[in-house]
Amino acid sequence: MRLRMKGGPYKLRWRAKEPSLALIVLVCITILIWTWDKSPTLTSTLTSKNQLQLPPDIETVAVDSKRHVKDDISTLARSEAVNNKEEHHVDKTHSTGIGKSSSDFETVPIQKKEEAIKHKHSPKREKTGVIESGSSSTEIEETNNVILGRQFSEQEEKRMEHQACDYTKGKWVIDDSRPLYSGLGCKQWLASMWACRMMQRQDFAFENLRWQPKDCELEEFEGPKFLERTLAFVGDSLGRQQFQSLMCMITAGKESPDVLDVGPEFGLVIPPGGKRPNGWAYRFPSTNTTVLYYWSSTLCDLEPLKPEDPQTEYAMHLDRPPAFLRDFLHRIDVLVLNSGHHWNRGKLRANKWIMYVGGEPNTNRKIADMGSAKNFTIHSTIKWLNSQLPEHPHLKAFYRSLSPRHFVNGDWNTGGSCNNTTPMSIGKEVLQEESSDLGAASAVRGTGIKLLDITALSQVRDEGHISRFSITSSPGVQDCLHWCLPGVPDTWNEILYALI
């Protein structure tokens, strides 16, 4: 008797196929998962709610997927130099829609270096593209090279941020940590005629003001950071004020017996029959830093027509830079030029200066005009200096804009005054787009010389002048040109410090 298997032969064959089909399904699922993990196409098909949303101005950086980023992204070893003060926290549960790269990394948002500097304080931010982790190996390699290659130190990042800052816009605010030095204590460097603490003035609220830029911060001044540099101020008495201000700032107004007088190295000695040298130069041995000032109120070359005659007239060569610059430019690392208030007929007659152009007395009436002569000279000197920059790649050159005067109801010799001693500018913003000194801005435009623009921020500080408290002026004559020190010129140096 034949036994018939239940279900027949077809049923037996079907059961035999079950293991094979299960194996095929398992293989397909494995391939699908692997493909999902590797394919940028599949990853890009995810809905936006399933992907990690990146805020504006960020790019993705490969970071170990087992690490969370908290508070400050700079705590990560590979990103410790990135200045990112926003708090970031990436949870694994949020990264399910992000495909893994071949190195099994996940993406973490970090601000782009350039974009962070440019837009850090801007109310409007532009979105940047996102580099997907499923990009080609070439793109991944280039991205990693960019990220890993930008291991900026914190100091270098701050430098880039400060260079991008517009220090001309901002406001004056009260800061109880000011001034940076004592007007009574900095007697070694500060001329008594500018130390208002040594005068009869009683209101010193002006010393407690600090300039606050609109979209950034001024780096805290630290004198020792001027390492192995020679800083030179070349200009008029306002340049001398900035020079003395910097000396007081570097020493914090304290006696510094170790500082060396190196004036003779730069030809700064008292000439025969003179009362003082044409400038001063001092060196700090601990940092090998030299700070000097050379008096050149018009930034042109002055040549005695009769050197043997004490009463000689001087050729005022409008198209030649001062001989001091030609002789010592190679030794200067930071140069600050200024000119302005000596460009008047009275000064030229008193100093016996005669305008020369091309080695001959000037006969061009257009240049003879005082304003035109000034512009012609400044442009000539800046043009010459710019031509020297390729030969002196270490040199950082600045032209400082005009320091404003605040005479009211007259000039210095006609009863003009500046009696206000109370700061009236606190909290008022200075937001103009262009420099108030159009001549200075025009002179440096298109050159490698930078404009140290201090005019507008100084314009609102009329209470900071020496005013009627001057100990050197004649009775009834006020000084509404020079500043009390400590005072406004300290801010000029803070901005200069940030720029260099």
**pLDDT, block means (10 residues), the chain with 500 residues:** 45 50 72 60 43 38 36 34 35 36 35 40 38 44 49 57 81 96 95 94 96 93 89 98 98 95 97 90 96 98 94 97 98 97 93 97 95 97 98 97 96 92 92 94 98 97 95 88 98 96
Residue among 457, 483, 490, 458 at smallest CA distance from 469: 483
Cα separations in angstroms, 378 against 300, 329, 348, 352? 8, 17, 17, 20
CA-only gyration radius of the chain, Å: 34
Query: How many whole angstroms separate alpha carbon 218 and alpha carbon 210?
Result: 10
pLDDT at res. 156: 60
pLDDT at res. 265: 97
pLDDT at res. 114: 41
- CA geometry: angle at 146 spanning 140 and 152, to 5°? 145
Q: How many CA atoms lie within 13 A of 58 on its CB side?
A: 17
Query: What single-letter DSSP state applies at residue 255?
Result: -
Query: How many whole angstroms separate alpha carbon 485 and alpha carbon 80?
Result: 41
* pTM across the whole model: 0.70
Question: At 326, which helix (H) or strand (E)?
Answer: helix 323-328
pLDDT at res. 30: 72
